[in-house]
């Protein structure tokens, strides 16, 4: 399973999102620190979930980081987030 698929699976299982987008942006960081030739090091994730309702931005980010702790400790060098509850604009 690819890193992107693992991210998608873990977030889906933990957050039951109404919207989820996982984009591998590793190609934009070629030659940068933390980048690997095979990619799957830099990701952008946009997720909307009822779980985020009533949570401040930092709490939402911590929740996602905890869900993806294994990936962030290993293959993922950078993760940008857009996090929202249904009915909100993206928060990140």
Q: Is residue 75 part of a domain?
A: yes
pTM: 0.86
Q: Is residue 36 part of a domain?
A: yes
Q: Is residue 92 part of a domain?
A: no
State how many domains the chain has.
1
Q: Is residue 90 part of a domain?
A: no
Instruction: Note down the domain range covering 48.
Output: 3-84
Residues of the chain scoring pLDDT < 50: none
Burial 52-63 (b: 16+ CB within 10 A, else e): beebeeeebbeb
67-85 pLDDT, tens per residue? 999 999 988 988 999 999 9
Q: Is residue 89 part of a domain?
A: no
CATH of the domain at 7: 3.30.300.90
Sequence-ordered list of residues with C-beta below 8 angstroms from that of 20, at least 6 positions apart, any chain: 8, 11, 12, 45, 46, 47, 48
């Amino acid at each position: 399973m690819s890193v992107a698929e693992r991210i998608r699976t873990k977030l889906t299982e933990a957050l039951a999102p109404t919207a989820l987008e996982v984009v591998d942006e590793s190609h934009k960081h070629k030659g940068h620190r933390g980048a690997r030739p095979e990619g799957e090091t830099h990701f952008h994730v946009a997720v909307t979930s009822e779980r985020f309702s009533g949570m401040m931005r930092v709490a939402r980010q911590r929740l996602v980081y905890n869900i993806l702790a294994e990936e962030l400790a290993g293959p993922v060098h950078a993760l940008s987030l857009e996090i929202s509850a249904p009915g909100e604009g993206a928060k990140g």
